[in-house]
Amino acid sequence: MALLNIKDLHVNVAGKEIIRGIDLEIEEGRTAVIFGPNGSGKSTLMGAIAGLPGYDVTKGLIEYKGHDIKQLSTDDRARLGIGLSYQYPPAVKGVRLRTLLESMTSDREIIPEYADMLNLSGYLDRDINVGFSGGERKRSEVLQLMVQTPDLMLLDEPESGVDIENISIIANALKSLLEKEKPITKRTRSALIITHTGFILDYLRADVAHVIMNGRVLGCGSPSEIFEEIRLNGYSKCSNCFAEQFKENNIC
Protein backbone atom coordinates (compact mmCIF):
# COMPACT_ATOMS: atom_id res chain seq x y z
CA MET A 1 0.00 0.00 0.00
CA ALA A 2 1.18 3.55 -0.64
CA LEU A 3 1.93 5.21 2.69
CA LEU A 4 1.92 8.61 1.01
CA ASN A 5 0.09 9.42 -2.20
CA ILE A 6 0.37 12.92 -3.60
CA LYS A 7 -1.69 13.80 -6.65
CA ASP A 8 -1.58 16.97 -8.75
CA LEU A 9 -0.37 19.02 -5.78
CA HIS A 10 -0.16 22.78 -6.15
CA VAL A 11 1.27 24.92 -3.33
CA ASN A 12 1.54 28.68 -3.02
CA VAL A 13 4.03 30.43 -0.78
CA ALA A 14 3.58 34.17 -0.16
CA GLY A 15 1.01 34.24 -2.98
CA LYS A 16 3.34 32.64 -5.54
CA GLU A 17 2.86 29.16 -6.97
CA ILE A 18 5.96 27.13 -6.04
CA ILE A 19 4.70 23.54 -6.40
CA ARG A 20 3.00 23.29 -9.76
CA GLY A 21 1.36 19.90 -10.09
CA ILE A 22 3.33 17.16 -8.34
CA ASP A 23 2.45 13.45 -8.28
CA LEU A 24 4.48 11.33 -5.86
CA GLU A 25 3.92 7.99 -4.16
CA ILE A 26 5.88 6.30 -1.38
CA GLU A 27 5.20 2.70 -0.51
CA GLU A 28 5.44 1.40 3.06
CA GLY A 29 9.01 0.45 3.94
CA ARG A 30 10.61 2.44 1.10
CA THR A 31 13.19 5.16 1.11
CA ALA A 32 12.85 7.74 -1.64
CA VAL A 33 15.30 10.51 -2.36
CA ILE A 34 14.57 13.87 -3.93
CA PHE A 35 17.11 15.69 -6.03
CA GLY A 36 16.58 19.15 -7.43
CA PRO A 37 18.37 22.47 -7.89
CA ASN A 38 18.17 25.30 -5.34
CA GLY A 39 14.75 26.92 -5.29
CA SER A 40 13.02 24.09 -7.16
CA GLY A 41 10.47 23.55 -4.37
CA LYS A 42 11.86 20.59 -2.42
CA SER A 43 11.54 22.12 1.06
CA THR A 44 8.18 23.59 0.06
CA LEU A 45 6.95 20.09 -0.77
CA MET A 46 8.04 18.81 2.65
CA GLY A 47 6.47 21.81 4.39
CA ALA A 48 3.18 21.15 2.60
CA ILE A 49 3.22 17.44 3.56
CA ALA A 50 3.95 18.34 7.21
CA GLY A 51 1.29 21.08 7.13
CA LEU A 52 3.61 23.91 8.17
CA PRO A 53 2.06 27.36 8.23
CA GLY A 54 2.65 29.50 5.14
CA TYR A 55 2.33 26.63 2.68
CA ASP A 56 -1.01 27.12 0.99
CA VAL A 57 -2.26 24.02 -0.83
CA THR A 58 -4.43 25.39 -3.63
CA LYS A 59 -5.15 22.13 -5.44
CA GLY A 60 -4.55 18.39 -5.28
CA LEU A 61 -4.40 15.52 -2.82
CA ILE A 62 -2.06 14.62 0.04
CA GLU A 63 -3.18 11.15 1.09
CA TYR A 64 -1.42 9.50 4.05
CA LYS A 65 -2.40 6.02 5.24
CA GLY A 66 -5.42 6.26 2.95
CA HIS A 67 -6.77 9.58 4.30
CA ASP A 68 -6.60 13.05 2.85
CA ILE A 69 -4.66 15.02 5.48
CA LYS A 70 -4.76 18.45 3.82
CA GLN A 71 -7.10 19.90 6.43
CA LEU A 72 -5.19 18.55 9.44
CA SER A 73 -2.93 20.70 11.60
CA THR A 74 0.81 20.01 11.82
CA ASP A 75 0.48 18.50 15.29
CA ASP A 76 -2.32 16.17 14.16
CA ARG A 77 -0.14 15.07 11.24
CA ALA A 78 2.73 14.46 13.69
CA ARG A 79 0.40 12.36 15.88
CA LEU A 80 -0.47 10.28 12.80
CA GLY A 81 3.23 9.56 12.35
CA ILE A 82 4.66 12.23 10.06
CA GLY A 83 8.02 13.56 11.26
CA LEU A 84 10.05 16.37 9.72
CA SER A 85 13.73 17.09 10.11
CA TYR A 86 14.24 20.71 9.05
CA GLN A 87 16.78 21.98 6.55
CA TYR A 88 17.28 24.97 8.85
CA PRO A 89 16.24 23.81 12.34
CA PRO A 90 14.92 26.74 14.37
CA ALA A 91 16.23 27.59 17.84
CA VAL A 92 13.66 27.75 20.65
CA LYS A 93 14.81 29.90 23.54
CA GLY A 94 13.36 28.97 26.92
CA VAL A 95 12.51 25.32 26.07
CA ARG A 96 15.02 22.63 26.94
CA LEU A 97 15.66 19.87 24.41
CA ARG A 98 14.82 17.32 27.12
CA THR A 99 11.38 18.91 27.66
CA LEU A 100 10.55 18.64 23.96
CA LEU A 101 11.74 15.01 23.83
CA GLU A 102 9.76 14.09 26.95
CA SER A 103 6.61 15.45 25.31
CA MET A 104 7.13 13.02 22.42
CA THR A 105 7.35 9.75 24.31
CA SER A 106 6.03 7.93 27.35
CA ASP A 107 9.31 6.01 27.64
CA ARG A 108 11.72 8.53 29.16
CA GLU A 109 14.50 5.97 29.53
CA ILE A 110 15.19 5.98 25.80
CA ILE A 111 16.05 9.68 25.80
CA PRO A 112 19.56 9.51 27.36
CA GLU A 113 20.26 6.30 25.42
CA TYR A 114 19.43 7.88 22.04
CA ALA A 115 21.16 11.15 23.00
CA ASP A 116 24.31 9.14 23.69
CA MET A 117 24.02 7.41 20.28
CA LEU A 118 23.95 10.84 18.61
CA ASN A 119 26.75 12.37 20.72
CA LEU A 120 24.27 14.74 22.33
CA SER A 121 24.38 13.63 25.97
CA GLY A 122 25.54 17.02 27.19
CA TYR A 123 22.91 18.90 25.24
CA LEU A 124 19.64 17.71 26.76
CA ASP A 125 19.41 20.54 29.29
CA ARG A 126 20.26 23.28 26.82
CA ASP A 127 17.54 25.30 25.10
CA ILE A 128 16.54 23.70 21.79
CA ASN A 129 19.24 24.49 19.23
CA VAL A 130 20.26 27.72 20.98
CA GLY A 131 23.96 28.12 20.25
CA PHE A 132 24.13 24.66 18.66
CA SER A 133 26.56 24.39 15.75
CA GLY A 134 25.13 23.50 12.33
CA GLY A 135 26.02 19.82 12.69
CA GLU A 136 24.71 19.69 16.27
CA ARG A 137 21.35 21.05 15.10
CA LYS A 138 21.13 18.31 12.48
CA ARG A 139 21.90 15.65 15.11
CA SER A 140 19.30 17.19 17.39
CA GLU A 141 16.74 16.89 14.57
CA VAL A 142 17.54 13.20 14.15
CA LEU A 143 17.37 12.65 17.93
CA GLN A 144 13.87 14.16 17.89
CA LEU A 145 12.89 11.78 15.07
CA MET A 146 14.29 8.81 16.98
CA VAL A 147 12.19 9.66 20.00
CA GLN A 148 9.10 10.42 17.88
CA THR A 149 9.55 7.25 15.73
CA PRO A 150 7.42 8.50 12.83
CA ASP A 151 6.12 6.18 10.12
CA LEU A 152 6.94 8.76 7.46
CA MET A 153 10.20 10.65 7.87
CA LEU A 154 10.73 13.83 5.90
CA LEU A 155 14.46 14.54 5.96
CA ASP A 156 15.44 17.87 4.48
CA GLU A 157 19.19 17.70 3.84
CA PRO A 158 19.98 15.72 7.01
CA GLU A 159 23.74 15.68 6.32
CA SER A 160 24.35 19.25 5.19
CA GLY A 161 27.02 20.84 7.36
CA VAL A 162 27.68 17.56 9.20
CA ASP A 163 31.24 16.21 9.46
CA ILE A 164 32.06 12.82 8.00
CA GLU A 165 31.98 10.87 11.28
CA ASN A 166 28.72 12.39 12.34
CA ILE A 167 27.17 11.63 8.92
CA SER A 168 27.69 7.95 9.63
CA ILE A 169 26.22 8.38 13.13
CA ILE A 170 23.14 10.10 11.65
CA ALA A 171 22.84 7.51 8.89
CA ASN A 172 23.05 4.62 11.39
CA ALA A 173 20.31 6.19 13.51
CA LEU A 174 18.12 6.59 10.42
CA LYS A 175 18.89 3.05 9.28
CA SER A 176 17.65 1.63 12.56
CA LEU A 177 14.54 3.85 12.46
CA LEU A 178 13.83 2.66 8.92
CA GLU A 179 14.31 -0.98 9.98
CA LYS A 180 16.88 -1.50 7.24
CA GLU A 181 18.00 -4.72 8.94
CA LYS A 182 14.67 -6.34 7.99
CA PRO A 183 13.70 -7.53 4.50
CA ILE A 184 11.99 -4.73 2.58
CA THR A 185 8.57 -6.38 2.68
CA LYS A 186 8.67 -6.43 6.51
CA ARG A 187 9.57 -2.75 6.90
CA THR A 188 6.75 -0.39 7.70
CA ARG A 189 8.44 3.01 7.98
CA SER A 190 9.28 5.16 4.99
CA ALA A 191 11.42 8.19 4.29
CA LEU A 192 11.65 11.01 1.82
CA ILE A 193 15.19 12.39 1.84
CA ILE A 194 16.40 15.57 0.18
CA THR A 195 20.12 15.61 -0.48
CA HIS A 196 22.46 17.73 -2.58
CA THR A 197 25.70 16.00 -1.73
CA GLY A 198 24.41 12.42 -1.81
CA PHE A 199 26.75 11.62 1.14
CA ILE A 200 23.94 10.11 3.18
CA LEU A 201 23.33 7.61 0.36
CA ASP A 202 26.83 6.17 0.90
CA TYR A 203 25.50 4.79 4.20
CA LEU A 204 21.76 4.48 3.67
CA ARG A 205 20.27 2.71 0.65
CA ALA A 206 17.45 4.54 -1.11
CA ASP A 207 15.05 2.59 -3.31
CA VAL A 208 14.10 5.30 -5.77
CA ALA A 209 15.00 8.88 -6.66
CA HIS A 210 12.73 11.64 -7.93
CA VAL A 211 14.00 14.80 -9.58
CA ILE A 212 12.13 18.05 -8.98
CA MET A 213 12.64 21.10 -11.14
CA ASN A 214 10.62 24.25 -11.18
CA GLY A 215 7.89 22.85 -8.92
CA ARG A 216 7.32 19.68 -10.95
CA VAL A 217 8.64 16.12 -10.86
CA LEU A 218 10.74 15.52 -13.98
CA GLY A 219 10.94 11.78 -13.46
CA CYS A 220 12.26 9.01 -11.28
CA GLY A 221 14.79 6.19 -11.38
CA SER A 222 17.77 4.60 -9.71
CA PRO A 223 19.25 6.92 -7.02
CA SER A 224 22.87 6.10 -7.86
CA GLU A 225 22.40 6.45 -11.63
CA ILE A 226 20.51 9.72 -11.36
CA PHE A 227 23.01 11.15 -8.89
CA GLU A 228 25.91 10.24 -11.16
CA GLU A 229 24.20 11.84 -14.16
CA ILE A 230 23.51 15.06 -12.23
CA ARG A 231 27.07 15.12 -10.94
CA LEU A 232 28.50 14.75 -14.42
CA ASN A 233 26.08 16.81 -16.51
CA GLY A 234 24.00 18.95 -14.17
CA TYR A 235 20.24 19.07 -13.89
CA SER A 236 19.55 20.42 -17.37
CA LYS A 237 20.50 17.12 -19.03
CA CYS A 238 18.81 14.91 -16.46
CA SER A 239 15.82 14.22 -18.70
CA ASN A 240 18.04 11.41 -20.08
CA CYS A 241 18.60 9.84 -16.67
CA PHE A 242 15.25 8.24 -15.85
CA ALA A 243 14.87 4.50 -15.96
CA GLU A 244 11.64 3.30 -17.53
CA GLN A 245 11.62 0.10 -15.48
CA PHE A 246 10.94 2.10 -12.31
CA LYS A 247 7.67 3.34 -13.80
CA GLU A 248 6.77 -0.04 -15.24
CA ASN A 249 7.33 -1.71 -11.85
CA ASN A 250 5.28 0.97 -10.09
CA ILE A 251 8.21 2.02 -7.90
CA CYS A 252 7.77 5.74 -8.69
Ligand X SMILES: Nc1ncnc2c1ncn2[C@@H]1O[C@H](COP(=O)(O)OP(=O)(O)OP(=O)(O)O)[C@@H](O)[C@H]1O
Output 188 or 214, the one with its CB closest to Mg ion: 214
- Minimal distance, residue 149 CB to ligand X, in Å: 25
Site of interaction with ligand X (CB under 6 A): 13-14, 18, 36, 38-44, 87
- Minimal distance, residue 56 CB to ligand X, in Å: 11
Site of interaction with Mg ion (CB under 5 A): 42-43, 87
- Minimal distance, residue 127 CB to ligand X, in Å: 25
Output 81 or 158, the one with its CB closest to ligand X: 158
What span, in angstroms and rounded, lies between the C-alpha atoms of 27 and 251? Answer: 8
- Minimal distance, residue 14 CB to ligand X, in Å: 3
Output 42 or 138, the one with its CB closest to Mg ion: 42
Q: Which of ligand X, Mg ion, none does 18 bind, CB closer than 5 to 8 A by kind?
A: ligand X
What span, in angstroms and rounded, lies between the C-alpha atoms of 70 and 50? Answer: 9
